[in-house]
Amino acid sequence: RICVITLAEAHPLLQSGKTIKNINYQISANCSRLQNKVSGKSKRTCLFVFQMQGAQFLTELAPLCRISSSDGEEYTIYSCIRGRLIEVNENILSNPALLQEKPSTEGYIAVVLPKFEESKSITQGLLTQKEYEEVLMKRRSSAS
């Protein structure tokens, strides 16, 4: 039920051989994702129940971070789902290459916990790997 936010396989930072210069979790003057401090505990019953305090609430269009590449391009990475920000990956700040070298494991961007009642609809709305590849093929053919 938790969502790990990563760069998509087709993201320009993973396709073009660009070098990542900087990752910034400072979204605005008053909002830093690094200030997200989750406290609380989880209890085990028939379901995991999280009692969290301090977790930032994100909408689908909430920026998580901005990534600058060595060629001057800047990419804003969005949450894409509604939920509570559980964790940001601070390891990519000191080692930005993790985003490109291990994007689906150690190079993740953040972990988001959607509301329990919304998690099923989020899961049902996801593309399969095959559907995702079909979307990419359509994009490539229309761009040519």
Averaged pLDDT in 10-residue chunks for the chain of 144 residues: 89 84 92 79 44 77 95 93 92 94 93 86 85 89 80
Name the E strands within the chain. Answer: 3-5, 20-24, 26-28, 31-32, 39-44, 48-53, 57-58, 63-69, 74-78, 83-88, 110-113
Tokens representing 9 are 């396989």
Query: Which pLDDT value is given to residue 4?
Result: 92
Query: Which pLDDT value is given to residue 53?
Result: 63
Query: Which pLDDT value is given to residue 48?
Result: 42
**pTM of the entire structure?**
0.81
Q: How far apart are CA 117 and CA 64, in angstroms?
A: 23
Mean pLDDT estimate for the chain? 85
Query: Which pLDDT value is given to residue 109?
Result: 96
Cα angle for residues 90, 38, 91 (degrees, 5° grid): 10
Residue ranges of domains in the chain, CATH in brackets: 1-27+54-141 (2.40.50.100)
Q: How far apart are CA 76 and CA 63, in angstroms?
A: 6
